């Protein structure tokens, strides 16, 4: 081999060395670029791969009644979730899990599609599954990536469906509310349960607490490998408890006093401050029906039910208050001086009372000559027609408004409706200016018929004003919150009762006297009913609301004891018939139960002793 050849070989070896070296150097520069210059980006991407935020669900606060009895609490349940896939198709997984859960696979697909833009958030597929289902899923673990089991607190109702309308229920947050709450910066996510009615809804913020956040490390198959605190951990703040003014046993008495098919409402309220002891609406629904997922069918059937089981009749049911409103008419008449204690008006006789060329009939046409107390006792329409005509619309409307008719009572529960007590503007608007005759309308209004509509809660407030000597109360139901950590009760501010505008005690005393005689008088409309409560004098007023669509609505509103009233009970039975026959016995049962308990063990102060926390 010549020197020239050796030189040539050396040269070629050098060229190859430079060539090889250039490539490897380029690779090294690329490694350096990735590992040094763009290190932060890739660390972030790597963490995104493996770290999943896990919401730490707060435990919702419990709801207690006034005796410290738990009426809504929580138990732990298993929820099956799917965390939408990031790397694999998972049709097989969906089919598999659908079989185990016994739900149609399409429903799961639809549900996963609904979840927009909340990546890595586990989507609840079925709530409250049995332990068997959990075991089956755990067993199949590796074959079911992305399927998770979460422990989730679930509402429990020790008293079943009692007070379901009032307490409300939890349901999965709908899209509208979700986006609204997220816009306000609240930490709600798709699939969260949220209070949808009643106390659950009104006190959502108090009961719910705040979510915490933790992180888990997952592998590429989406399985959790371990929990990690490297990104910190924010524990959830559990929700606060509520102590309500409800008496759940009294509520039970009220609800079971209704027959199975009856519809209606019962209110029991302390007339001194507006604390609600009972708020019942029949028929029931089961609050647990909504707390799962995929409840569209249940929801639709309840919504389309003609008996309207979801309607809270106590505060959203509108009825003509009928004769119960006579206590307002009487007060207005006495106050305005168009009648007085002893004054009698045109007698109630067959053929009715004539005004102009029309005659107006009483439900019972032989009351004869009555004063105001007797007219209340016997609920004489003819007497109150005349009171109305003598008063005129404006004073009657003013007094009704003063008693709280035609407006929300101010109870902090969702869904309340104001009802209606017409004024001049109303008739101008609906009939036409100058085309209605005041006396004609007033005759109707003064006995609670016509365009007048009221809720049972308004009637209760109205009754309370008579009972307590002229104070209008704002009903309330939640008296204390109890923070989980401290455990001490914190009173909620309540609206103080306000005196009715210019109502004299003498006028109210006469109305009360009339109401006492409704039950205790010789001719009282409710005298025949076994309404006696042992040792307690009860006053009340019946009402029978004419209903163009069917049977009359039966009313009865009462308070007791008459010397120092501490409870108002208002009962409405939809299409029940006569107030004295149908509504009054229910009120009597509630009152008897109330006073029996009180005699036995009730402490005079509300909620004796602290509730178990």
Partner 1 sequence: MTRGKRLSRHFLRDFDHRLFWSAIGLIVIGIVFVYSATVENIQVAAPLHTRQALWALVGLTAILVAIRLPLQFYYSTAYLIYGIAMLLLVGVLVVGGGGAERWFNLAGAIRLQPSEPAKVAMVLAIARYLSGHNVNFRRVRDFLIPVGLAGLPFLLVARQPDLGTALVFPAVLLPVLFWRGVPLWVIFLLCSPLLSVVTAFSPYTWGPMLIAVGVVVWKSRLRRELALLVVTVNIVLGAVTPTVWDNLHEYQRQRILTFVDPQQDPLGAGYHVIQSTVAVGSGGLLGKGYLQGTQTKLNFLPAQHTDFMFSVIAEETGLVGALVVLLLFMGVLHRSLRAAVEVKNSFAGLVIIGASAIIFTHVVVNIGMALGLLPITGLPLPFISYGGSHLVSMMLLIGIVLGLRMRWVEY
Instruction: Output the smallest distance, CB 144 to partner 1, in A.
Output: 14
User: Is 86 one of the binding residues for partner 1 (CB under 8 A)?
Assistant: yes
Backbone angles phi, psi at 123, to 5 degrees: -100, 120
214 three-state secondary structure:
strand
Check residue 228 for interaction with partner 1 (CB under 8 A): no
CB of 33 to partner 1, least distance (A): 9
Q: Which residue stretch of 216-224, 394-402, 499-507, 594-602 sits at the interface with partner 1 (rule: CB under 8 A)?
A: 216-224
β-strands 123-129, 147-156: how paired?
A: unpaired
- What's the min distance (Å) between Cβ of 296 and partner 1? 31
- Residues linked to residue 265 through DSSP beta bridges, in sequence order: 281, 572
Token pair 């106390």 in the structure block, residue: 199
**Minimum distance from residue 145 beta carbon to partner 1 (Å):** 11
The residue within the footprint of partner 1, chosen from 151, 220, 234, 343 (CB under 8 A), is: 220
93 counts as binding partner 1 under rule CB under 8 A: no
d(CA 442, CA 310): 34
9 makes contact with partner 1 (CB under 8 A): yes
4 binds partner 1 (CB under 8 A): no
Tell me whether residue 23 or residue 299 sits nearer to partner 1 (CB atom).
Answer: 23
Find the shortest distance in angstroms from Cβ 107 to partner 1: 25
Instruction: Please pick, from the candidates 13, 151, 488, 599, the single residue that binds partner 1 as defined by CB under 8 A.
Output: 13
Binding partner 1 (rule: CB under 8 A), the pick from 2, 3, 142, 548 is 142
Coil, strand, or helix at residue 211? coil
- Choose between 43 and 343: whose C-beta lies nearer to partner 1: 43
Could you give the CA distance from residue 180 to residue 204 in angstroms, rounded to a whole number?
15
Residues 79 and 128: beta-carbon distance below 8 Å: yes
Q: How many CB atoms lie within 10 A of CB 305?
A: 13
Check residue 337 and report its DSSP letter. Answer: T
Residue closer to partner 1 (CB basis): 88 or 599: 88
Of positions 221, 401, 408, 575, contacts partner 1 by CB under 8 A: 221
Of 59, 63, 93, 218, the one binding partner 1 by CB under 8 A: 218
What's the CA gap between 559 and 564, in Å, rounded? 10
Q: Could you say which of 39, 116, 394, 523 contacts partner 1 (CB under 8 A)?
A: 39
Options 31-39, 197-205, 305-313, 437-445: segment touching partner 1 (CB under 8 A): 31-39
Q: How far is the CB of 113 from partner 1 (least distance, A)?
A: 17
Could you give the CA distance from residue 561 to residue 467 in angstroms, rounded to a whole number? 9
Assign 3-state DSSP to the chain and report helix, strand, coil percentages, each to 5: 40, 20, 40
Closest CB to partner 1 among 40 and 563? 40
CB of 219 to partner 1, least distance (A): 4
Question: Per residue, what are the HEC states of 167-202?
Answer: HCCEEECCHHHHHHHHHCCCCCCCCCEEECCHHHHH
Q: Which residue shows structure tokens 């332990």?
A: 131
Contact 253, 588 (CB under 8 A): no
What crossing angle do the helices spanning 393-402 and 381-391 adopt, rounded to 10°? 110
* Closer residue to partner 1 in complex, CB, 10/364: 10
Binders of partner 1 among residues 491 to 550 (CB under 8 A) are: none
- Please report how the helices 105-114 and 91-101 are oriented relative to each other, as an axis angle in degrees rounded to 10: 120
Does residue 599 touch partner 1 according to CB under 8 A? no
Cβ nearer to partner 1, comparing 82 with 133? 82
Structure tokens at 278: 């009972």
> Does 138 engage in binding with partner 1 (CB under 8 A)?
no
Q: Are strands 123-129 and 70-82 parallel, antiparallel or unpaired?
A: antiparallel
46 binds partner 1, rule: CB under 8 A: yes
Q: Residue 212: which residues within 8 A CB-CB, separation 6 or more?
A: 55, 56, 58, 233, 234, 235, 236, 237
Nearest CB to partner 1, comparing residues 19 and 235: 19
* Strand, coil or helix: 230: coil
Q: Is 53 in the site for partner 1 (CB under 8 A)?
A: no
Element (H, E) at 104: none
119 binds partner 1 (CB under 8 A): no
Residue 24 sits in the site that holds partner 1 (CB under 8 A): yes
Q: Which is nearer to partner 1, 7 or 340 (CB)?
A: 7
Q: What are phi and psi of 84, to 5 degrees?
A: -55, 145
The closest alpha carbon to 266, from 297, 312, 226, 308, belongs to: 312
Q: Is 299 in the site for partner 1 (CB under 8 A)?
A: no
Is 7 an interacting residue with respect to partner 1 (CB under 8 A)?
no
Query: Counting contacts by CB under 8 A, is residue 141 touching partner 1?
Result: no
| Binder among 76, 110, 225, 599 for partner 1 (CB under 8 A) | 225
Comparing CB distances to partner 1, the nearer of 32 and 160 is 32
Q: Tell me which stretch binds partner 1 (CB under 8 A): 41-49, 107-115, 291-299, 574-582.
A: 41-49
Question: Which residues, 6+ apart, have CB-to-CB distance to 29 below 8 Å?
Answer: none
Q: Judged by CB under 8 A, does residue 28 bind partner 1?
A: yes
Query: Quick one: which of 198, 270, 201, 206 has its CA closest to 473?
Result: 270
Return residues touching partner 1 (CB under 8 A).
Answer: 1, 6, 8-10, 12-13, 15-17, 19-21, 23-24, 27-28, 30-32, 34-36, 38-39, 41-43, 45-46, 49-50, 86-87, 142, 217-221, 225
């Amino acid at each position: 081999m010549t020197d020239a050849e050796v030189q040539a070989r050396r040269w070629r070896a050098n060229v190859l060395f430079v060539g090889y070296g250039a490539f490897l150097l380029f690779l090294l520069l690329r490694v350096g670029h990735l590992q040094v210059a763009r290190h932060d980006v890739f660390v972030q991407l790597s963490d995104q791969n493996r770290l999943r935020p896990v919401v730490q669900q707060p435990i919702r606060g419990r709801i207690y009644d006034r005796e410290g009895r738990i009426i809504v609490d929580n138990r732990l349940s298993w929820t099956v979730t799917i965390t939408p896939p990031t790397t694999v198709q998972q049709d097989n997984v969906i089919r598999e899990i659908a079989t185990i859960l016994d739900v149609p696979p399409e429903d799961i697909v639809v549900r996963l599609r609904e979840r927009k833009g909340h990546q890595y958030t586990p989507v609840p597929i079925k709530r409250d599954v049995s332990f068997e289902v959990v075991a089956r899923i755990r067993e199949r673990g590796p074959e079911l990536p992305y399927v998770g089991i979460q422990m989730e607190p679930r509402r429990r109702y020790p008293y079943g469906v009692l007070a379901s309308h009032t307490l409300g229920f939890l349901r999965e947050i709908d899209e509208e509310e979700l986006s609204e709450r997220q816009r306000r910066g609240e930490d709600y996510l798709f699939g969260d349960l949220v209070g949808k009615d009643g106390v659950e809804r009104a006190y959502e913020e108090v009961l719910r607490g705040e979510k915490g956040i933790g992180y888990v490390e997952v592998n590429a198959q989406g399985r959790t490998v371990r929990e990690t605190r490297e990104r910190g951990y924010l524990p959830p703040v559990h929700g606060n408890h509520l102590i309500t003014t409800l008496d759940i046993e009294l509520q039970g008495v009220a609800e079971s006093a209704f027959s199975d098919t009856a519809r209606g409402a019962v209110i029991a309220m302390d007339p001194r401050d507006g604390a609600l002891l009972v708020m019942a609406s029949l028929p029931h629904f089961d609050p647990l029906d909504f707390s799962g997922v995929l409840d569209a069918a249940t929801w639709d059937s309840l919504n389309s039910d003609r008996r309207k089981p979801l309607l809270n009749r106590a505060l959203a049911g509108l009825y003509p208050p009928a004769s119960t409103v006579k206590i307002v008419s009487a007060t207005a008449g006495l106050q305005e001086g168009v009648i007085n204690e002893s004054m009698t008006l045109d007698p109630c006789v067959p053929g009715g009372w004539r005004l102009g060329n029309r005659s107006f009939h009483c439900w019972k046409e032989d009351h004869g000559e009555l004063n105001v107390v007797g007219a209340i006792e016997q609920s004489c329409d003819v007497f109150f027609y005349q009171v109305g005509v003598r008063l005129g619309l404006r004073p009657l409307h003013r007094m009704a408004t003063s008693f709280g008719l035609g407006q929300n009572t101010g109870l902090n529960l969702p869904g309340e409706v104001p009802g209606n007590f017409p004024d001049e503007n109303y008739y101008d608007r609906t009939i036409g200016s100058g085309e209605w005759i005041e006396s004609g309308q007033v005759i109707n209004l003064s006995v609670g018929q016509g365009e007048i509509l009221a809720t049972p809660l308004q009637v209760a407030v109205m009754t309370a004003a008579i009972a307590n000597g002229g104070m209008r109360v704002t009903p309330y139901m939640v008296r204390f919150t109890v923070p989980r950590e401290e455990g001490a009760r914190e009173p909620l501010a309540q609206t103080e009762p306000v005196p009715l505008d210019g109502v004299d005690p003498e006028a109210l005393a006469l109305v009360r006297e009339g109401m006492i005689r409704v039950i205790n008088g010789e001719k009282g409309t409710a005298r025949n009913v076994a309404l006696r409560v042992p040792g307690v004098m009860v006053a009340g007023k019946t009402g029978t609301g004419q209903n163009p669509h069917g049977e009359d609505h039966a009313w009865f509103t009462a308070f007791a004891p008459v010397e120092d009233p501490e409870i108002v009970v208002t009962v409405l039975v939809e299409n029940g018939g006569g107030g004295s026959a149908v509504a009054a016995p229910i009120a009597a049962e509630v009152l008897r139960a109330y006073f029996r308990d009180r005699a036995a063990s009730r402490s005079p102060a509300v909620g004796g002793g602290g509730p178990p926390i």
